[in-house]
């Protein structure tokens, strides 16, 4: 929807560093940028205070590290001289949350090939620095046997067929094995190599489905033992473990079993209460194994991310209550997944972008309410799969997906998630409905492993976002602009400005309590003109891709804009753009 507004200069109270009174800031019409803010005396002192660690972050806080901003190569930027439309004040002393490196994670899978041999992809991942990579592969985790090979595959008590939600049988050829070294799959050894190559930690989803469809006298104990053996093999390399993937789902192996082949009296359909009981068994076995190796591990249990709809099946309707009542204190953290947009809908850009800020907050609020209603204690929360699930207009491979990713990262941090992993690294083109961050070789006009637009938005977010999110206040002519602000332990401060509307904005930026330095730096990311609203291209400071889709492959050496920091910063924020900005310290 087009929103019209009157042009004109907004009234600002531009408070400069060491000023003793609030007076009109005449520097808003001068070239250059702004520093300072705050009043004289103690109000002008840069002295950030870290908040108490949120319970939803908990032990994930141990991953926090101080960050140093690396000043990029620069070229003189154009500072707007016209009227401002928005004013942003950033209080560097008001710390909302310390930013964890684990919120920038991603997901590997088993069908992308032995990707550790792909030098270009490995370099892209090193540059991106996801910090945590999940394995083995979403729903495939529940038919995955980590120690199996083609020669010695699944255990003898794995049935020859599994049941889908309708009770139809599927063939065992779809079981997956960690020891498979075929070029088309991803071995467990190579997963560990990928972690080492990219300096990432792991988060592993063990096979819960086996506890349901196994045909031994005690399938739960057998599945828990298999998971514990993985913990022993892992030998302290991995701290974070998940019990199953979306175990409430009728698409998941083990959702429905044949009671006639089950020997411990389990029902045909899984329930949250049953899963909760089983979590205790898994946690006991896996933690005992970790103790043998001298490792500390954390066990996650799956919760449903939103209120069940009236048409949802029974396992979802009562899932959370059952898990929370029966699992007790066995899980160390809770796991949720969310794909933001309506399933398989041909969503508009506006519909996609509005979910980025709202969904993480609504998911976190729902988890808290469910835990409170069950009388359980709140635990850390990990969003181990997230993305959009729009289809039909190449939304997933577009710059809109990139803008959505940037806006989502800020919201994930702001809403105190302990960990988050986007789905996923690479899949298949699927006519542009691919959620993968990289081209797997089947995208028309793009080279193998070409980064999709979302890569660039996530890369620059981490480059220009510090280790503390701080409070900011935005006065805007409309609701199109979202900001997330931060500081680095090395002293710099900055902001990410996301304009999801069709109008250009000019934003004036002032800091409070900030000892401003000589310059500020920024990058502007915009889409191309191909494919209507969903361009498959991204331009960084006006430089675009050399191929049909993606962005500039020289992103690591591409020069950022720079300007002197002489007063209030003024920055142009084009329609449908993201601006990443950092100001020098004194």
What pLDDT does residue 41 have? 34
Q: Assess whether pLDDT exceeds 60 at residue 42.
A: no
Which residue is it, tokens 């103690």? Answer: 42
Three-state SS letters, 86-100: EEEEEEEEEEEEECC
Q: Assess whether pLDDT exceeds 90 at residue 3.
A: no
Number of H helices, E strands in the chain: 10, 23
pLDDT tens digits, one per residue of 412-448? 999 999 999 999 999 999 999 999 999 999 999 999 9
Per domain, the residue ranges of the chain are 26-100+468-585, 101-464
Cis peptide preceding 424, ω within 30 of 0? yes
State the pLDDT confidence band at 22, using cuts at 50, 70 and 90: very low
pLDDT tens digits, one per residue of 292-307? 999 999 999 999 999 9
Q: Which CATH superfamily is domain 26-100+468-585 in?
A: Golgi alpha-mannosidase II (2.60.40.1180)
Task: Tell how strand 74-76 and strand 505-512 pair up.
Answer: unpaired
What pLDDT does residue 151 have? 86
As a whole number, the mean pLDDT across the chain is 92
State the pLDDT confidence band at 26, using cuts at 50, 70 and 90: very low
What pLDDT does residue 23 have? 30
**For 536-562, what is the mean pLDDT?**
97
**Tokens coding 230:** 């993985």
Q: Assess whether pLDDT exceeds 70 at residue 245.
A: yes
State the pLDDT confidence band at 38, using cuts at 50, 70 and 90: very low
CATH match for 101-464 among 3.20.20.80, 3.60.60.10, 1.25.40.10, 3.40.630.30: 3.20.20.80
**For 91-100, what is the mean pLDDT?**
98
pLDDT tens digits, one per residue of 562-573? 999 998 999 999
Task: Tell how strand 505-512 and strand 569-573 pair up.
Answer: antiparallel
Q: pTM of the entire structure?
A: 0.92
Three-class SS state of 497: strand
State the pLDDT confidence band at 379, using cuts at 50, 70 and 90: very high
Q: Assess whether pLDDT exceeds 60 at residue 1.
A: no
> Across-strand partners of 90?
472, 511
State the pLDDT confidence band at 173, using cuts at 50, 70 and 90: low
140-157 b/e (C-beta count within 10 Å ≥ 16 → b): bbbbbbbbbeeeebbbeb
**For 317-345, what is the mean pLDDT?**
97
CA dihedral angle for residue 227, residue 367, residue 425, residue 498, rounded to 10 degrees: -160
> Across-strand partners of 482?
498
Which residue is it, tokens 């000019």? Answer: 506
Cα dihedral sign, 511-88-526-123: positive
Task: Tell how strand 240-243 and strand 569-573 pair up.
Answer: unpaired
101-464: same fold as 26-100+468-585?
no
CB 485 within 8 A of CB 90: yes
Report the share of the chain in percent with pLDDT over 90.
Answer: 89
* Helix or strand holding residue 571 (H, E): strand 569-573
């Amino acid at each position: 929807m087009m929103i019209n507004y009157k042009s004109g200069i907004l009234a600002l109270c531009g408070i400069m560093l060491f000023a003793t009174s609030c007076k009109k800031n005449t520097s808003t019409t001068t070239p250059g940028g702004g520093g300072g803010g705050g009043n004289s005396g103690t109000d002008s002192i840069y002295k950030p205070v870290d908040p108490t660690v949120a319970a939803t972050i908990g032990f994930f806080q141990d991953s926090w590290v101080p960050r140093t901003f690396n000043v990029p190569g620069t070229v003189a930027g154009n500072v707007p001289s016209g009227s401002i439309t928005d004013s942003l004040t950033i209080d560097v002393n008001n710390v909302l949350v310390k930013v964890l490196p684990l919120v920038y994670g991603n997901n590997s899978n088993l069908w992308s090939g032995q990707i550790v041999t792909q030098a270009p992809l490995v370099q892209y991942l090193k540059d991106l620095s996801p910090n945590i990579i999940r394995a083995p592969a979403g729903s495939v985790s529940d038919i995955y046997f980590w120690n199996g090979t083609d020669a010695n595959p699944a255990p003898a008590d794995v049935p020859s067929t599994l049941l889908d939600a309708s009770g139809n049988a599927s063939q065992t050829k779809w079981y997956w094995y960690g020891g498979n070294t075929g070029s088309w799959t991803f071995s467990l050894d190579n997963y560990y190599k990928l972690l080492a190559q990219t300096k990432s930690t792991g988060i592993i989803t063990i096979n819960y489905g086996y506890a349901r469809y196994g045909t031994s006298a005690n399938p739960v104990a057998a599945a828990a033992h298999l998971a514990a053996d993985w913990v022993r093999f892992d030998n302290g390399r991995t701290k974070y473990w998940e019990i199953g993937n979306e175990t409430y789902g009728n698409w998941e192996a083990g959702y429905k079993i044949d009671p006639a082949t089950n020997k411990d009296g389990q029902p045909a359909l899984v329930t949250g209460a049953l899963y909760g009981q089983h979590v205790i068994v898994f946690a006991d076995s896996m933690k005992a194994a970790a103790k043998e190796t001298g490792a500390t591990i954390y066990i996650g249990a799956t919760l449903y991310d939103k209120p069940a709809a009236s048409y949802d099946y029974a396992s979802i309707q009562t899932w959370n209550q059952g898990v929370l009542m029966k699992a007790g204190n066995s899980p160390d953290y809770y796991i949720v997944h969310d794909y933001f947009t309506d399933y398989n809908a041909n969503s508009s850009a506006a519909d996609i972008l509005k979910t980025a800020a709202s969904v993480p907050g609504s998911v976190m609020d729902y988890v808290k309410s469910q835990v409170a209603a069950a009388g359980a204690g709140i635990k850390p929360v990990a969003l181990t799969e997230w993305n959009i699930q729009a289809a039909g207009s190449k939304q997933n491979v577009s710059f809109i997906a990139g803008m959505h990713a940037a806006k989502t990262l800020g919201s994930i941090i702001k809403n105190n998630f302990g960990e988050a992993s986007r789905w996923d690294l690479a899949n298949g083109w699927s006519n542009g409905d691919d959620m993968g961050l990289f081209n797997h070789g089947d995208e028309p006009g793009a080279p193998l492993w070409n980064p999709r637009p979302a890569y660039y938005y996530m890369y620059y977010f981490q480059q220009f976002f510090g280790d503390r999110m701080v409070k900011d206040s935005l006065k805007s002519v409309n609701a199109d602009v979202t900001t997330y602000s931060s500081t680095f332990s090395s002293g710099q401060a900055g902001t990410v400005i996301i304009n999801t509307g069709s109008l250009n904005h000019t934003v004036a930026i002032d800091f409070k309590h900030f000892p401003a330095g000589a310059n500020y730096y920024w990058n502007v990311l915009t889409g191309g003109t191909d494919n209507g609203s969903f361009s498959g291209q991204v331009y960084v400071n006006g430089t675009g891709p050399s191929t049909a889709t993606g962005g500039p492959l020289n992103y690591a050496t591409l020069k950022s804009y720079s300007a002197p920091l002489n007063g209030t910063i003024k920055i142009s924020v084009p329609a449908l753009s993201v601006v990443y900005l950092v100001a020098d310290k004194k």
